[in-house]
Chains A and B, each alone.
Chain A
Amino acid sequence: MTVVSLACVAVLLATAVVGMAAGRHPAGRPLVYGLGLVATVVAFGSAVAAMVAPPAAASEVVLPLGLPWLGAHFRIDALSAFFLAVVNLGAAFACLYGLGYGRHEEAPHRVLPFLPAFLAGMNLVVMAADAFGFLLSWEFMSLASWALVLAHHRDPENGHAGYVYLVMASFGTLALLLTLGLLAGPDGGYAFAAMRGVEREAGMATLVLVLALIGAGSKAGLVPLHVWLPLAHPAAPSHVSALMSGVMTKVAIYGFVRIVFDLLGPSPWWSGMVVLAIGGASAVLGVLYALMQTDLKRLLAYSTIENVGIVFVALGLALAFRSNGMALAAALAFTAALLHVLNHSLFKSLLFFGAGAVLSATHERNVERLGGLIHRMPATSALFLVGCVAISALPPLNGFVSEWLAFQAVLQSPELPQWGLRIMVPAVGGLLALAAALAGACFVRAFGITFLGRPRSAAAEAAHEVDRLSIAAMAGLGVLCLLAGILPGTLIDALAPAAELAVGGRMPAQQAVDWLTIVPIAESRSSYNGLLVFLFIAASASLAVLAIHRFASRAVRRAPAWDCGFPVPSPDTQYTAGSFAQPIRRVFASMAFRARERVEMPPPGDPRPARLTVEMHDPVWDWLYAPVAAAVGWIADRMNRLQFLTIRRYLGMVFLSLVGLLMVIALWP
């Protein structure tokens, strides 16, 4: 299996070279995306095969690359097999979408070389089995995605996004470097196999946990390290945005899981509390940010932060259960996390593809200038609707299943012995519920303003449906969302080996349960059957339609809208995205973002228009980043003088630092 996956990576790297050579050629696009599609589909098949029949431990491959005494270790176990499947599934759909969508690309030579390289990097991170290879592939993945963010680099906003992304990615990699260095210890056991099972003292474990949370969390977009994400993800072309949001954040989650659950070994009980707090905050703040956005792609990027928060809440629960030896509950929470990873990669890719379709049809990302697209883009809008229902955690689609499992895990937590956890978990459960409800509001707004109502601009009025390949990619994802929603039992069983590896327990097998129901603990405690719910809804809806059309009236008359008797033809009278968010802004954002509204009403007789200004502050930016940036600027100003010294002084400084270092060595105990 490992060899097959590595071969796929090699094909992807070769594709990157092809992309570099044929970037400007019209044949380059189908060639690169076609090759990428084939490679990722094969890699997906091999990952699924590895999940179904986990390979023996001997399947580790060592290539003579990298550090001479270490080589490059690659290994696929149950955990990496699952993440490989997620990565390659998303990648395959992105390639399929890119086949059609790439036609609208203005600068294909800036996308085609880097996209396969990005895919290869993500594959390598998940397969790497030593610290060196992991960090190198991580950095490779970051740089390739950074190049893709800057694909349209002439836009000043994108330049800023690329800058912030580069800074945050370097910072995150630094944290991961330190994490893995600490794990390797002074003896330098850089292979993952050597790191496992080493006894570590509590202080060291704490440090590793915090650093891993910073390193992987900054890539995954946890609050407060999320600032780069809503800038960088939307800046890339849409299928790349889908990859970054739907897949790359999952690779970051993989990094966290690998380090904390696998390599670190037992962790202190409060580590769960830290992860829970950060996850809960990310979930609620992410969706609140998303509710305030008017840029469709940025809205989706913020909603990624929310979903990553949900995953981390489930991971925090799993950590808390694991450190108290509750293997069954830990497996439940961990399975919920992994299932949400998969689900989010499905519906977020779908939504970004939809946003890309809207962008290519209207050249507009601002929802305030869209509207009425459901008439002009029927297929896209129906599929986008599927994604919206799924991400809002509504049955019978897949988002609901993973959140339901997370709630079931929350309900297991009164058995926890620690007071702090016992008080915190219900509060976090409430936050999770709040995030789910706000996500519903957010996606009613996103879909309603973009696709429903009347067109708010000429571009929206002249929109047309996108090409078939793009629609095929979206339809495939939509079908998978439905399938994962109504047949979750199969998925849960497939995740059992990964859960066993990470938390040492597994959920009861779902295959044995009748009617494809899922039963996390016992049937008397809770069960959910997505298939039956779906069938019931379909049956009763069709029953209602049939009965009414058979026995009652089926006459329809089209007429102007009623609107309480005063319909105004101008589309400006519709509710806008800003006005839709206003009640929620008043309730939540006045506290979270210090949102203030100011109305300037000119006196009677004055022809100037009245104005409503909304002022919002990002607390994270104001309190964390602005001071840091100011401090860096201040130091840089002071250090600026160093540029204008004489040679003698430079030599003196070098000399002084040498002496200083020697003194440190001399005085070191």
Chain B
Amino acid sequence: MALILDLLVQGAQMAVVLLLAPLLTGFVRKIKARLQRRRGASVLQPYRDLARLLRKEAVVAENASWLFRAAPYLMVAATWVAAALVPTFATGLIFSWSADLIAIIALLGSARFFLALAGMDVGTSFGGIGASREMMIASLAEPAMLLIVFTLALTAGSTQLATIAELFTRPEVGLRVSLGLALVALVMVAIAENGRIPIDNPATHLELTMVHEAMVLEYSGRHLAMIELAASLKLLLYVSLIAALFVPWGLALPGTGGGAYAVGLVTYLAKLAVGGVLLAVFETSIAKMRVFRVPEFLGAALMLGLLGTLLLFVSRSL
């Protein structure tokens, strides 16, 4: 019975992330529009876009291979699995031990690997430019992310997200310089990984500096829907990750019953809303960088992660 309940909670988590992801994207777009004094589309617009794309036929380039058609599904699968393992409204889910934080990052790496390959499949220059730049960004963002993980893992003595989140709800963790550094670095990495301004502009389609949109230029119909969904899931994953690590209060601990889950869900929605507003404000107030400024931006995140790890390594001796 307990097993069935655990499975249900895990299933609920998977459903929640899948259903909420487009809403978060729509919400951020809406807030951005309001900040720019536009009315903006409804927050439900991403759902309508997805439904429309799913109904359309897929136009595939003549020389596209099976990889081009398989990659969107693989991306969604890898991102979805990763998102299902991040604590959203509850922690200590039944499958949460099947992959720790390092594995979650690597799963996102797999999704990116296939997206970059799909970008190169048709053999157009836009796909190549996008793939090449995406891998350049990833080559800095991934080590930065791993160093952040080191910082968190050394503080909590674990790379399990559930354990870290549970530990951080307790007051004895206190304020830590390294955690502050990790937060700043994590936000920088999250911005880069999700292709938000100032790294990449998710709203542009005709700029030579675009990265993500250049890779998916050839996609249409249901494949494009999958890719949009994966991108939304990734954004949700990062917001949830930051929320679970740095504002873990309200997470339902394992075995605390239905009331705690309800509280967890409400606080989770509130955290998502705050995260979305902050992202929109940040994006509105900053201009996009040149592509070759991005390494400096991410290099700074890398340094912060390294600094945080270093401080922890050293202050262990105190």
Residues of A within 8 A of B (CB): 371-372, 374-375, 378, 385, 389, 392-395, 400, 404, 407-408, 410-411, 413-415, 422-423, 425-427, 429-430, 433-434, 436-438, 440-441, 444-445, 447-449, 452-454, 515, 517, 523-529, 532-533, 536-538, 540-541, 544-545, 548, 552-553, 555-564, 567, 571, 573-575, 579-584, 586-588
- Per-residue CB contact flags for chain B residues 37-75 toward chain A (1 = under 8 Å, else 0) read 000000000000000001111111111011100000110
Contact of A404 among B102, B117, B306, B309 (CB under 8 A): B102
B14 closest partner in A (C-beta) = A540
Do B150 and A411 have beta carbons less than 8 Å apart?
yes
Do B139 and A434 have beta carbons less than 8 Å apart?
yes
Contact of A553 among B55, B61, B76, B99 (CB under 8 A): B55
CA distance A371 to B122 in the complex (A): 11
A440-B98 contact, Cβ under 8 Å, with A454-B123, A574-B125: no
B61 closest partner in A (C-beta) = A561
Do A540 and B77 have beta carbons less than 8 Å apart?
yes
B24 at interface (Cβ–Cβ under 8 A)? no
CA distance A463 to B127 in the complex (A): 24
B310 at interface (Cβ–Cβ under 8 A)? yes
Do B117 and A563 have beta carbons less than 8 Å apart?
no
A438-B139 contact, Cβ under 8 Å, with A553-B58, A558-B60: yes
Contact of B110 among A389, A407, A573 (CB under 8 A): A389
Instruction: Write out the residue numbers on chain A whose beta carbons fall within 8 Å of the beta carbon of B295.
Output: 587
CA distance A575 to B117 in the complex (A): 12
Highest count of chain B CB atoms <10 Å: which of A527, A533, A555: A533
B291 at interface (Cβ–Cβ under 8 A)? yes
Within 8 A of A (CB), among B251-310: 291-292, 295, 302, 305-306, 309-310
Do B159 and A441 have beta carbons less than 8 Å apart?
no
Instruction: Write out the residue numbers on chain A whose beta carbons fall within 8 Å of the beta carbon of B309.
Output: 426, 429-430
A422 closest partner in B (C-beta) = B313
Report B67 CB to chain A, min CB distance, Å: 7
B126 at interface (Cβ–Cβ under 8 A)? yes
A404 closest partner in B (C-beta) = B102
Do A533 and B107 have beta carbons less than 8 Å apart?
yes
Instruction: Write out the residue numbers on chain A whose beta carbons fall within 8 Å of the beta carbon of B121.
Output: 374, 448, 452-453
Within 8 A of A (CB), among B201-250: 206, 217-218, 221-222, 226
CA distance A389 to B163 in the complex (A): 29
Instruction: Write out the residue numbers on chain B whose beta carbons fall within 8 Å of the beta carbon of A538.
Output: 77
Instruction: Write out the residue numbers on chain A whose beta carbons fall within 8 Å of the beta carbon of B110.
Output: 389, 394-395
CA distance A537 to B230 in the complex (A): 13
Do A557 and B218 have beta carbons less than 8 Å apart?
no
Contact of B150 among A393, A429, A532 (CB under 8 A): A429
Contact segment of B1-9, B129-137, B169-177, B180-188: B129-137
Contact of B217 among A404, A541, A564 (CB under 8 A): A564
A562-B131 contact, Cβ under 8 Å, with A426-B309, A433-B142, A448-B117: no
Do B160 and A524 have beta carbons less than 8 Å apart?
yes
Report B121 CB to chain A, min CB distance, Å: 5
A541 closest partner in B (C-beta) = B77
CB<8 Å pairs between A and B, sample of 16: A374-B66, A394-B106, A395-B103, A400-B103, A400-B106, A404-B102, A422-B314, A436-B142, A449-B120, A544-B77, A557-B58, A557-B60, A559-B60, A561-B62, A573-B125, A575-B131
CA distance A404 to B121 in the complex (A): 30
B316 closest partner in A (C-beta) = A414
A559 closest partner in B (C-beta) = B59
Do A560 and B132 have beta carbons less than 8 Å apart?
no
Report A286 CB to chain B, min CB distance, Å: 14
> Looking at chain A's contact residues, is the secondary structure mostly helix, strand, loop, or mixed?
helix
CA distance A374 to B120 in the complex (A): 12
Do A587 and B136 have beta carbons less than 8 Å apart?
yes
- Per-residue CB contact flags for chain B residues 94-118 toward chain A (1 = under 8 Å, else 0) read 0101111011001101101100110
CA distance A578 to B121 in the complex (A): 17
Instruction: Write out the residue numbers on chain B whose beta carbons fall within 8 Å of the beta carbon of A438.
Output: 139
Contact of B131 among A394, A395, A426, A448 (CB under 8 A): A448
A560 closest partner in B (C-beta) = B62
Instruction: Write out the residue numbers on chain A whose beta carbons fall within 8 Å of the beta carbon of B95.
Output: 532, 536
The interface on chain B, measured as residues whose beta carbon lies within 8 A of the other chain's beta carbons, has a size of 86
List 11 other contacts, CB 8 Å, given A407-B146, A453-B120, A574-B128.
Answer: A392-B109, A393-B109, A414-B312, A440-B138, A441-B138, A441-B139, A452-B123, A517-B97, A541-B73, A563-B217, A584-B136
A430-B129 contact, Cβ under 8 Å, with A372-B123, A423-B313, A537-B77: no
Do A561 and B218 have beta carbons less than 8 Å apart?
yes
Instruction: Write out the residue numbers on chain A whose beta carbons fall within 8 Å of the beta carbon of B313.
Output: 413-414, 422-423, 425-426
Do B107 and A562 have beta carbons less than 8 Å apart?
no
Closest 10 CB pairs of A and B: A575-B128, A453-B123, A555-B57, A448-B120, A541-B77, A441-B135, A433-B143, A583-B136, A437-B142, A552-B54
Residues of B within 8 A of A (CB): 54-63, 65-67, 73-74, 76-78, 80-81, 84, 95, 97-100, 102-103, 106-107, 109-110, 112-113, 116-117, 120-129, 131-133, 135-136, 138-143, 146-147, 150, 153-154, 157-160, 163, 206, 217-218, 221-222, 226, 291-292, 295, 302, 305-306, 309-310, 312-314, 316-317
CA distance A538 to B70 in the complex (A): 12
CA distance A395 to B226 in the complex (A): 21
CA distance A620 to B251 in the complex (A): 53
CA distance A378 to B143 in the complex (A): 33
Report B241 CB to chain A, min CB distance, Å: 17
Instruction: Write out the residue numbers on chain A whose beta carbons fall within 8 Å of the beta carbon of B153.
Output: 411, 526
A555-B146 contact, Cβ under 8 Å, with A444-B135, A548-B222, A561-B63: no
Do A541 and B74 have beta carbons less than 8 Å apart?
yes
Instruction: Write out the residue numbers on chain B whose beta carbons fall within 8 Å of the beta carbon of A556.
Output: 57-60
CA distance A392 to B291 in the complex (A): 24
CA distance A442 to B163 in the complex (A): 34
Do A586 and B135 have beta carbons less than 8 Å apart?
no
A436 closest partner in B (C-beta) = B142
Do B154 and A414 have beta carbons less than 8 Å apart?
yes
Do B126 and A526 have beta carbons less than 8 Å apart?
no
Do B132 and A582 have beta carbons less than 8 Å apart?
yes
A562-B135 contact, Cβ under 8 Å, with A411-B150, A423-B314, A523-B97: no
Report B290 CB to chain A, min CB distance, Å: 12
Instruction: Write out the residue numbers on chain A whose beta carbons fall within 8 Å of the beta carbon of B78.
Output: 537
Instruction: Write out the residue numbers on chain A whose beta carbons fall within 8 Å of the beta carbon of B316.
Output: 414-415, 422
Do A430 and B306 have beta carbons less than 8 Å apart?
yes
A454-B63 contact, Cβ under 8 Å, with A540-B77, A557-B58: yes
Contact of B81 among A374, A400, A537, A560 (CB under 8 A): A537
Report A43 CB to chain B, min CB distance, Å: 35
Instruction: Write out the residue numbers on chain A whose beta carbons fall within 8 Å of the beta carbon of B317.
Output: 422
Do B97 and A563 have beta carbons less than 8 Å apart?
no
CA distance A130 to B73 in the complex (A): 56
Contact of A447 among B98, B117, B154, B163 (CB under 8 A): B117
CA distance A441 to B57 in the complex (A): 32
Do A372 and B125 have beta carbons less than 8 Å apart?
no
Instruction: Write out the residue numbers on chain B whose beta carbons fall within 8 Å of the beta carbon of A537.
Output: 74, 77-78, 81, 107
Do B102 and A426 have beta carbons less than 8 Å apart?
no
Highest count of chain B CB atoms <10 Å: which of A413, A423, A529: A529
Do B107 and A395 have beta carbons less than 8 Å apart?
yes
CA distance A425 to B317 in the complex (A): 15
B78 closest partner in A (C-beta) = A537
A541-B76 contact, Cβ under 8 Å, with A411-B154, A561-B218: yes
